[in-house]
Amino acid sequence: MALKDNRELYDCIVVGAGPAGLTAALFLARYRHRALTFHHNSPRNEYAQGVHGFLGHHGILPNELLARGRDEVTDHGGLILESRVEKVERVAKDHFRAFTENGSAYDARRLLLATGLRDITPSCPGFREFYGVSVHHCPDCDGYESRDKRLVVLGTGTKTVGFALSLLTWTDKITLITDGQPHDMSDDERAKLSSFDIQISERRLAALEGDLESKQLHRVLFTDGEPLECDALFFNLGTDFSNNLHETLGCELDDKCGLVWVDERRETSVEGVYAAGDITPHSQLAIVAAAEGAMGAIHIHNSLIPAERKP
Ligand SMILES: Cc1cc2nc3c(=O)[nH]c(=O)nc-3n(C[C@H](O)[C@H](O)[C@H](O)COP(=O)(O)OP(=O)(O)OC[C@H]3O[C@@H](n4cnc5c(N)ncnc54)[C@H](O)[C@@H]3O)c2cc1C
What pLDDT is attached to residue 184?
83
Strand order in the sheet with 228-229: 205-211, 216-222, 228-229
- Ligand 1 atom 26 nearest Cα: 277
pLDDT at position 166: 97
pLDDT at 44 over 70: no
Task: Name beta bridge partners: 217.
Answer: 210
> Does 67 have pLDDT greater than 70?
yes
Task: Quote the CA–CA distance of 21 and 128 in Å, as a whole number.
Answer: 27
What average pLDDT does the segment 276-281 reach? 97
Atom nearest to 132 CA in ligand 1: 1
Residue 57 has pLDDT above 70, yes or no: yes
Dihedral sign, Cα of residue 63, residue 42, residue 283, residue 16:
negative
Q: What are phi and psi of 194, to 5 degrees?
A: -65, -35
| Mean pLDDT over each residue of the chain, to the nearest integer | 94
Q: Is 126 in the pocket of ligand 1 (CB under 6 A)?
A: no
- If one counts every other C-beta atom within 10 angstroms of the C-beta of residue 47, the result is 17
Measuring CA to CA, how many Å separate 109 from each of 113, 250, 273, 292, 308? 13, 17, 9, 20, 18
Nearest atom in ligand 1 to the alpha carbon of residue 50 is 8
Overall pTM surpassing 0.85 (yes/no): yes
Phi, psi of 46 (to 5 degrees): -60, -20
Asked whether 183 and 156 are in contact (CB, 8 A), the reply is yes
3-class secondary structure, 152: strand
Residue nearest to atom 15 of ligand 1 (CA): 285
State the distance from the centre of ligand 1 to the C-alpha of 289, rounded, in angstroms. 8
- The DSSP output letter for 131 is B
Q: Does the structure show a pLDDT above 90 at 191?
A: yes
- Confidence grade of residue 4 (pLDDT, cut at 50, 70, 90): low
Cα separation of 274 and 194, whole Å? 44
pLDDT band of residue 22 (cuts 50, 70, 90) is very high
Q: What is the pLDDT of residue 101?
A: 92
**Ligand 1 geometric centre to CA of 285 (Å):** 9
Split at pLDDT 50, 70, 90, the class of 6 is low
Is 150 strand, coil or helix? strand
CA of 144 to the centre of ligand 1 (A): 20
For the cut 70, the answer to whether the pLDDT of residue 173 exceeds it is yes
- What mean pLDDT comes out for the span 247-260? 96
Q: What is the pLDDT of residue 116?
A: 94
Pair 297, 29: CB distance under 8 Å: no
Ligand 1 within 6 A of CB of 158 = no
Whether the CB of 286 sits within 6 Å of ligand 1: yes
- Band (pLDDT 50/70/90 cuts) for residue 107 is very high
Instruction: Name the pLDDT band for 3 (thresholds 50, 70, 90).
Output: confident
- Name residue 32's amino acid: R
Q: Which of 86, 138, 235, 288 to mutate to test the pocket of ligand 1 (most atoms within 8 A of CB)?
A: 138
Vertex 190: Cα angle to 186 and 191 (nearest 5): 115
pLDDT in the model for residue 117: 93
pLDDT of residue 21 exceeding 70: yes
pLDDT value at position 182? 77
Q: Name the most confidently modeled range: 117-126, 181-190, 230-239.
A: 230-239
In this prediction, residue 40 carries a pLDDT of: 86
pLDDT value, residue 150: 98
What's the pLDDT score for residue 43?
Answer: 61
Strand partners, 267: 274
Considering the chain, what percentage of its residues have pLDDT values greater than 90?
88
Over residues 73-95, the mean pLDDT reads 96
* Residue 247 clears pLDDT 70, i.e. is over it: yes
Sorted by sequence, the CB contacts under 8 Å of residue 147 that are 6+ apart come out as 170, 171
For residue 163, give the nearest of 216, 233, 242 by alpha carbon.
Answer: 233
Q: What is the pLDDT of residue 42?
A: 67
User: Residue 49: what pLDDT?
Assistant: 79
Q: Which pLDDT belongs to residue 7?
A: 77
Q: Which atom of ligand 1 is nearest to the CA of 100?
A: 42
